[in-house]
Amino acid sequence: MPVSDSVDLGPGADTDGDTADGLDDVELPINELFYSLQGEGTLAGVPSVFVRTSGCNLRCWFCDSYHTSWEPTHARLSLVEILAEIDSHDADHVVLTGGEPLLHEGSTALLEALADRNYHTTVETNGTIFRDAPIDLASISPKLSSSTPTPERDPTGTGEWERRHETDRIDLDALARLIETYEFQLKFVVTDADDVSEVCNLLEDVRAAADTRIRDTDVLLMPEGATRDRLAETRHRVADLAMEYGFRYTPRLHVDLWNDAPET
């Protein structure tokens, strides 16, 4: 069930200004809305409110947000409700994630409202969609070929997403626009050396397509694994690869702390 079904504006919540701005007319499909620590990337450890939208244009076989992609669930919440829940937490940082949050036009309106309220925002995106919105950090996670749900790795056993995912997982034009427009980090889910070789090849293409400099320190390698046991199998290998290639290593603090529990 979508955790966000429990969102409560609370007695006496002041939404008059938001209603006047038309924010009650904009809705997003919300799978989770919760307060935790940012677990990944350059802001790992920062207290944050997470707004997790449902729906994705890709289907990574190892997706750690299965209920936003393979079996999407959500409640439709207005921006008034979303903002009220965000405001109820003592955090200056909001992470808009998914699924793929930039699928939804309403994400732009939400980011504009958060900017008006002086929140610092991170958008977690697979890099296939560009939207013109106030984003403080674009956390771009292009999907490598190892993410493709081949028949032996397709959790549904149908094989219907293999071709579509493989065709759509990289969009150089969208990647270049995101990198040129926003402060960014390029975050790759990695299992072994073959993945890093593919990262290097993709970086060469993206550097040729984008007018903005991409430093090796803008590239983060993150171990594949949505559970502590799986991370134990991949983290040391990925850390060694980060040192070998001069990229950054990023942990998955939320997995280390809470394993695969929801709302983390």
In this structure, is residue 33 part of a structural domain?
A: yes
pLDDT of residue 24: 80
- Contact present, 82 and 33 (Cβ < 8 Å): yes
In this structure, is residue 263 part of a structural domain?
A: no
Q: Residue 78 is inside which H or E element, if any?
A: strand 75-78
pLDDT of residue 21: 65
In this structure, is residue 47 part of a structural domain?
A: yes
Tokens matching residue 90: 């003592």
pLDDT in tens, 27-50: 999 999 999 999 999 999 999 999
Q: Which of 18, 136, 35 is nearest to 90 (CA)?
A: 35
- Tell me: pLDDT of 101 over 70: yes
Q: Mean pLDDT, the chain, as a whole number?
A: 92
CATH number for 142: 3.20.20.70
pLDDT of residue 106: 97
Handedness of CA 23, 124, 138, 198 (dihedral sign): negative
Site of tokens 């493989």: 166
Range of the domain at 91: 25-258
In the sheet that holds 219-223, the strands lie side by side as 75-78, 27-37, 47-53, 93-97, 120-125, 137-140, 184-190, 219-223, 248-249
- Tell me: pLDDT of 19 over 70: no
CA distance 177 to 185: 13
In this structure, is residue 39 part of a structural domain?
A: yes
In this structure, is residue 106 part of a structural domain?
A: yes
The DSSP string of 121-151 is EEEEE-SS----S--SEEEE-PPPGGGS--T
CA distance 236 to 241: 9
Strand, helix or coil for residue 243 = helix
Torsion, Cα of 2, 98, 104, 26 (10° steps):
40
Strand, helix or coil for residue 33 = strand
User: What is the distance in angstroms between the CA of the first residue and the CA of the last residue of the chain?
Assistant: 16
In this structure, is residue 153 part of a structural domain?
A: yes
CA distance 52 to 101: 8
| pTM value > 0.85 | yes
In this structure, is residue 65 part of a structural domain?
A: yes
In this structure, is residue 1 part of a structural domain?
A: no
More confident residue, 262 or 52: 52
228-245 vs 193-209: helix crossing angle, rounded to 10: 60
Question: What type of residue sits at position 222?
Answer: M
Total count of domains within the chain: 1
